[in-house]
Amino acid sequence: MDIAGTIGHREVLTSSTLLARMVKKGLSPAQARQRMSRGAEDGKRIWRSQNLALPHNERLFARREFVGSPQFFNAVGAHLESARPGLARCLEAATKRPVLLEYEVAKLSASLLNAPATARVPTIQREMAALTEVGFRHDAPGTSLSRVVQETSTHAATIGPAHKAAAKRAAETQITRILGEHYRRHNLISWNSLNVADSQAGVLPFNDVPFCGYAYSWARPMVIFRTGRDPCPTPVMFDVYARHCFEEDVSGFKNRLERARRARKLAFPLLAVIGAYDFAPSAFEFAKKEGMLVVNLRDFFGNDALDALAAMEAVLVHVDAGTPISSGTGDNDLAEKLARLHSHPLIVDIKGVALESTAALTAKADGWEDVRLGVDVPFDQTTRDVDVLGMRYGETEFRAIECKAHRKDIEVPGSEVKKFFTETVPSLVKARSTRGARPDIRAEFWTTGIIGSDAKRAFGECKMGKHIDARLWGLEDVLKAIPKNLKRSRALVQAISEV
């Protein structure tokens, strides 16, 4: 009996369904399994999933010529809908978008980030392998642009969309930080508990499950009191989208929240905060039904500020690709957009993101590699944030930039200078040292404000080793540090100093 003749031209069957059909045609179960095994091993006429497994270790079968067609994706998605909903969400997104970055796969599939391959819950590596098996290609593995693309797409056709997706990823980490800072100022989350993913990762693990960020709330109604135990704060989980949010995004967030609780057998709930430029009606209703705190970023920031953040994505595309910002005109000019926000309550945060993006672009232009925004390093029982971090010469030399986007007539407090050079920089040295060998650190403090006597005195009092090249730069120094081919970046820094 020919196994291919048992499968329809437009069918995807589970192993149990295929087995039942072959038994119905007169084979014993043992004979049917043997035929299935031989047909799968041949691989010329029959496709069988390997990494993609359903409950009870079932596999999928189809005719080889059917694989990769839109109808094939629909048929596979129908099987995954109830059995593997996370992978079904990824499959649907991958067929609609030109690229799907690895962090997006992690969020949609609710896969684990660092678990062993033997873990019961699928890891991100297994989910990426499963997607490639059903007809997608895994490009640039092991890099910040690791992505799933359709098999028929060329590298040239996907590199541009990949950089744009990476820019959105960086924007999401910055927006997460702004949201977290906002809630911290209002005491919804505790002062030193905010953890945000860096710009090239997009997610960080909480109980090994990916989130944009997380914190803890000690607000009185959020404190959990249990008999015989110390009071416990409620974890606050952040999920942010620098785009329209759809129902599958909310579903993925819900799935991740459930897995994060199960991983540690948490008896109490997590406070879920989901933010996006806007929400599809079904996504908003779903998030509301699940008790999430829904933040429409257009309402939160206002139209002008959101337009500035959207323009920031264009800058972040250049940061990711390492190319100069092209001349902008009218509403496309970020400097003009910032000028409109002089009285906006979040202008300080937005200016900070703009200056950090410029510093990152400068580091890239100067030849530094793996340039990241918002990298946390351990400090005592908490962390310190490195605004911009790049490396070169095989991680033996790092460039760390602290950005303070003050108005040009405001002096930088000496405490900010001292904190960077005596807390953040030593923490970075400790975190990046290997086998007792300390890396060389070029530590730069950038400000668009005034370096006054207080800042200079604090800088002079900082004791640093010979392996640290420390620099304290005001507005004129920052403008000189920006390469000549980044003219638009200079204009942006000037605008930051005047708002």
- CATH code for 158-321? 3.40.1350
Strand residues in 69-179 grouped as ranges (E): 100-101, 136-139, 147-150
Burial of 245 (0-12, 13-18, 19+ CB in 10 A): buried
Strands 369-379 and 12-14: unpaired
Tokens of 265: 């057998």
CATH, domain 341-498, list 3.40.1350.10, 1.10.3720.10, 3.40.630.30, 3.40.190.10: 3.40.1350.10
Residue type (1 letter), 129: A
pLDDT tens digit at each of 499 positions of the chain: 678 788 988 999 999 999 999 999 888 999 888 888 887 777 778 899 988 989 888 999 999 889 888 899 999 999 999 889 999 999 999 988 999 999 999 999 999 998 776 677 889 999 999 999 998 999 999 999 999 999 888 888 999 999 999 999 999 999 999 999 999 999 999 988 899 999 999 999 999 999 999 999 999 989 988 888 888 899 999 999 999 999 999 999 999 999 998 876 766 789 999 999 999 999 999 999 999 999 999 999 988 888 888 888 877 887 777 666 554 433 346 788 888 888 888 888 999 999 999 999 999 999 999 999 999 999 988 889 999 999 998 889 999 999 999 999 999 999 999 999 999 999 999 999 987 789 999 999 999 999 999 999 999 999 988 999 999 999 999 999 999 888 888 989 999 999 8
* CATH code, 1-66: 1.10.10
Cα 344 off chain centre by: 27
Between helix 70-83 and helix 85-96 the angle, nearest 10°, is 150
Q: How far apart are CA 169 and CA 312, in angstroms?
A: 12
Residues paired with residue 69 on neighbouring β-strands, in sequence order: none
Nearest to 199 by CA among 294, 99, 103: 103
- Going edge to edge, which strands form the sheet with 440-447? 369-379, 382-392, 397-404, 440-447, 468-473
DSSP-assigned beta bridge partners for residue 273: 238, 293
CB within 8 Å of 381: residues ≥ 6 apart = none
Distance between CA atoms of residues 357 and 333, nearest Å: 15
Let me know: does 156 contact 140? Beta carbons within 8 Å. no
Pairing verdict, β 12-14 and 147-150: unpaired
* Residue range(s) in the chain whose domain bears CATH number 3.40.1350.10: 341-498
Instruction: Please compute, for residue 165, the number of CA atoms within 13 A of its CA located in the half-sphere on the CB side.
Output: 21
pTM for the whole structure: 0.87
Q: Give the angle 312-427-352 at the CA atoms, nearest 5°.
A: 20
